[in-house]
Amino acid sequence: MVDAAELVQKFARPVLDFTFEAMPVIISACQKAYKVYTRLPLVYVHLLFGAVMCFFGGFYPTVFAALQAAEHGGLRTVRKALGALTKEIMVIIEENKKDDAVDADGDGVADAKHIDGRELLKRKVKLVLQKINPDKVNDAIASMYKVWISVLAVLTIQFARTIALSLTIGAFVKRVTDRYLLPIVKTATPKEYQQWCPVILDWFCKSIGISIAWKAQTIISAFTSALAGGLIMSRALLQIRFKGQNNHEDMNVDEILSYALGGAGFYFQYTQSFDTPFPLNVILWPVELAEYYIRWSVTN
């Protein structure tokens, strides 16, 4: 069995190097993307938002719902908190560059190059604790947590039917597993660990209920978001085409176009089995992680 100390010794340096190299790139890319987004004309923002809803709304239903729930004041608070955390991260990155250049013994090789993985990890943890501003970090995290609690309350109400369905399915599966599967699992499990069998099977049953209920919700969300996104796209496209001179509400073409776009959006999601296709799933893995976390938080 591999010792944890050996893993730290082996992977601490490459993981730390990758983290300190990748973070500035990620932060810079996000800042540039946000600047481009804020400079777009409002009609193009609507077009972009409608396209995302139309073609990707069923992939991340709870993420989109959370963003909509946080839209009234919450997003501004989160944006401010993320800005404060970003500044603290950049401070640590700059201090890390200085620390990597330190050659206290004067042998021509940086001190950080001499030490092993465990000592390097301790050195960097000490650096973070010394240079970071705990008050700013605490305030930023507390602000985001308050927004998250309010969003979670809204989502619990919005997806109440899905929650009830998942709990019903989970309870039904649990009755079956308790009667037929639990005795077999207990027999195959050492006596000192048998108390964990009901707990693990309960997690397993809940996971089944959550998966089935959210799969049904995903299909519903994909259909409704495709239609809503298609309508937003069609009106934005007509506004761009006619430069705002014609009132699209007096025309039927926006609705006809919205049905075509909505059908295309739903068909695209259907062909992908309502799951993000490659390579977007690799690029959007943080969004994927957030989606599963929100689903589990809302349901439990």
The per-residue pLDDT for range 230-266, each reduced to its tens digit, is 988 888 888 887 775 655 555 677 788 889 999 999 9
Residue 138 confidence (pLDDT): 92
Question: At CB < 8 A and 24+ separation, what contacts does 270-279 make?
Answer: 270/222, 272/59, 274/58, 274/59, 274/215, 274/218, 274/219, 274/222, 275/59, 276/56, 276/59, 276/60
Residue with tokens 């605490």: 138
Mean pLDDT for the chain overall: 83
Do the Cβ atoms of 139 and 80 come closer than 8 Å?
no
Residue 32: alpha-carbon gap to chain centroid? 20
d(CA 152, CA 158): 10
* Sign (positive or negative) of CA dihedral 25, 30, 35, 41: positive
Of the pLDDT bands very low, low, confident and very high (cuts 50, 70, 90), residue 223 is very high
Predicted confidence (pLDDT) at residue 8 exceeds the cutoff of 90: no
Domain count along the chain:
1
Contacts 24+ apart (CB under 8 A), 215-220: 215/274, 216/162, 216/165, 217/61, 217/159, 217/162, 218/58, 218/59, 218/61, 218/274, 219/58, 219/274
- Share of residues in the chain with pLDDT > 70 (%): 93
* pLDDT higher than threshold 70 for residue 188: yes
DSSP string, 235-294: HHHHHHHHTT-S-GGG-SHHHHHHHHHHHHHHHHHHHTTTSPPTTHHHHTHHHHHHHHHH
Q: In the block, which residue shows the tokens 């399915």?
A: 169
Mean pLDDT for the stretch of residues 70-74? 73
The model's confidence at residue 1, banded by pLDDT at 50, 70 and 90, is: very low
Q: 111 vs 260, which has greater pLDDT?
A: 260
The band of 267, judged by pLDDT with boundaries at 50, 70 and 90, is very high
Tokens of 204: 């397993």
For residue range 189-201, list pLDDT tens digits in order.
Answer: 888 888 888 889 9
Model pLDDT, residue 10: 67
- Domain carrying residue 282: 4-299
Residue with structure tokens 């068909």? 267
Return d(Cα 206, Cα 208) in angstroms, integer: 5
**What's the pLDDT at 49?**
85
Tokens of 234: 């069609």
Mean pLDDT across the stretch 40-54? 85
Output the pLDDT for position 265. Answer: 92
What confidence tens digit (pLDDT) does each residue in 164-182 have? Answer: 888 899 899 999 998 888 8
* Range name among 130-134, 197-201, 216-220, 241-245 with the lowest pLDDT average: 241-245
Please state, in angstroms and rounded to a whole number, the distance separating the CA atoms of residues 87 and 27.
10
Q: In angstroms, rounded to a whole number, what is the distance separating the alpha carbons of residues 152 and 291?
A: 13
pLDDT surpassing 90 at residue 67: no
pLDDT of residue 3: 59
